[in-house]
Homo-oligomer: A and B are copies of this chain.
Amino acid sequence: MPPTEIPTSLPPMKDLTTENLTENVHLVNSQCTDPRLRYLLERIVTHLHTFCLETRLSTEEWNTGIQFLTQIGQISDDLRHEMILLSDTLGVSSLVDAINHPRQPPATEGTVLGPFHTHDAEDMDHGAVLHSDPDATRLLVLCTIKDSAGNPVSDVKVDVWEGDSKGFYDVQNPGRTGPDGRGVLRSDANGEFFFQAIVPVPYPIPMDGPVGRMLEALGRHPNRPGHVHFMLDKEGFDLLITALYPRGDPYETSDPVFGVKESLVVDLSTVEDEEVATKYGVKVGTKLLTYDFVLLSDQEARELRKKNAIKAMQKQGRKVVFHNDLPIPAESS
């Protein structure tokens, strides 16, 4: 049906050429009243157009891209998140995590959440066995949590999860009846917690979809180095989503989702002392992973984000103002 509403205030845009198309799109989008969305669109459009101009993107390539992105949506559902996998494999998820949860020494670095976290993990006591997998190599995980001043942080909600000895997470088992390989602990008065996990093994990310085809075309392997996931949550502290990677994994330096950081690669040892074994309820000879987590406070993280945002805007030659704690250029506020 012919429309009735006629724009009146929009500055006229016409005579599109390869040279002025970008500014014409900006002009139309400048009608947006939300300054943050306006800024995001300005950058999206600029980057999309610059990409096409720099590469002289062919109609055939454009069409391949349109189909690729469409198929990613079509294969996705409540359990399969192919668009997140695309973001992961292009390093975007890792980058967004680093931007939103910046760290400075001595704080523990974060890494990608991944697609296998669930909300049905059960509370467990210190020393509990995380995994029912009989084929796995047992691993005692023994950790402390401190704040950046070195004080123990008690009562942190510690969400842990990992795959089994074949590299599968419980949610990948079609017959799953409940959580396995995951649990929730609380740090004690000394900021300590411990549990029995298994020595993690590498596993491939899903390769049967469009992202798998992309990795194949790029000559990339799909294998993540083995790791144990941790999510440390306590009011007043910046949420820490991270993972620990036992050193020596063949994929340690080529993680397809760019999650490995040197500070998160750990040397496993062995429980040698009978007294220690008894204290933590394991046998002598059990593999041992120890780690001291350091949390940033909310306030410390907010200040770091702000400082980094000001620097990033200056790099563009723009003065910054903040809108709901997020940066926008001063000229558009």
A254→B95 contact, CB < 8 A: no
| In the assembled complex, A221 has its CB within 8 A of some CB on chain B | yes
- Proximity string of chain A (250-268) to chain B, C-beta cutoff 8 Å, 1 when within and 0 when not: 1111111011111101000
Number of copies of chain A assembled together = 2
| In the assembled complex, A189 has its CB within 8 A of some CB on chain B | no
Residues of A within 8 A of B (CB): 1-3, 5-7, 10, 12-18, 21-22, 24-25, 28-29, 31-34, 37-41, 43-45, 47-59, 61-62, 66, 69-74, 76, 81-84, 87, 90-100, 102, 166-167, 201-204, 217-223, 250-256, 258-263, 265, 305, 308-309, 312-313, 315-316, 326-327
Taken together as a complex, chains A and B put the C-alpha atoms of A6 and B74 apart, in Å, by 32
Once A15-B262, A18-B98 are accepted as A-B contacts, the answer to whether A202 and B3 lie under 8 Å apart by CB is: yes
- When the two chains form the complex, which single residue of B10, B256, B309, B327 contacts A254, counting CB atoms closer than 8 Å? B10
A94→B21 contact, CB < 8 A: yes
Taken together as a complex, chains A and B put the C-alpha atoms of A74 and B81 apart, in Å, by 12
B3→A223 contact, CB < 8 A: yes
- When the two chains form the complex, which single residue of B10, B21, B87, B312 contacts A95, counting CB atoms closer than 8 Å? B21
Given A54-B313, A66-B87, 11 more contacts at CB 8 Å?
A1-B204, A14-B265, A17-B261, A18-B102, A29-B218, A40-B61, A43-B51, A44-B90, A47-B51, A54-B315, A73-B74
A253→B51 contact, CB < 8 A: no
Give every chain B residue within 8 A of A81 (Cβ-Cβ).
66
Give every chain B residue within 8 A of A72 (Cβ-Cβ).
69-70, 73
6 smallest beta-carbon distances between A and B, as pairs: A73-B73, A12-B253, A15-B262, A25-B91, A31-B219, A47-B47
